[in-house]
Amino acid sequence: MFFEFLKAVLFGIVQGITEWLPISSTGHMILLDELVQLDVSDAFYELFQVVIQLGSVLAVLVLYFHRLNPFSPQKSPQEKQRTWQMWFKVVVGVLPLVVPALLLDDFIDEHFYNYTVVAIALIVYGVLFILVENRSRSRKPQVTQLEQLSYGRAALVGVVQMLAIIPGTSRSGSTILGAMLLGLDRSLAAEFSFFMAIPVMAGASGLKAVKYLLEGGLAFTSTEWMILITGTVVAFLVSLVAIRFLVQFVKKHDFKAFGAYRIVLGLVVLAYFLLAR
pLDDT digits (tens, 9 = 90+) for 132-181: 888 877 788 899 999 999 999 999 999 988 888 888 888 888 899 889 98
Using 50, 70 and 90 to split pLDDT, how confident is the model at 277? low
Using 50, 70 and 90 to split pLDDT, how confident is the model at 243? very high
Least confident of 57-66, 100-109, 120-129: 100-109
Mean pLDDT score, 36-54: 84
Using 50, 70 and 90 to split pLDDT, how confident is the model at 238? very high
For residue 206, the model assigns a pLDDT of 77
For residue 18, the model assigns a pLDDT of 93
Task: For the chain, give the mean pLDDT.
Answer: 88
> Using H for helix, E for strand and C for coil, what is the string for the chain?
CHHHHHHHHHHHHHHHHHCCCCCCHHHHHHHHHHHCCCCCCHHHHHHHHHHHHHHHHHHHHHHCHHHHCCCCCCCCHHHHHHHHHHHHHHHHHHHHHHHHHHHHHHHHHHHCCCHHHHHHHHHHHHHHHHHHHHHHCCCCCCECCHHHCCHHHHHHHHHHHHHHHCCCCCHHHHHHHHHHHCCECHHHHHHHHHHHHHHHHHHHHHHHHHHHHHHHCCCCCHHHHHHHHHHHHHHHHHHHHHHHHHHHHHHHCCCHHHHHHHHHHHHHHHHHHHHHC
For residue 209, the model assigns a pLDDT of 74
For residue 37, the model assigns a pLDDT of 86
pLDDT digits (tens, 9 = 90+) for 180-218: 989 999 899 999 999 999 998 888 777 777 777 777 666
pLDDT digits (tens, 9 = 90+) for 10-35: 999 999 999 999 998 888 888 888 88
More reliable by pLDDT, 46 or 247: 247
What's the whole-model pTM score?
A: 0.88
For residue 6, the model assigns a pLDDT of 93
For residue 217, the model assigns a pLDDT of 63
Using 50, 70 and 90 to split pLDDT, how confident is the model at 42? confident
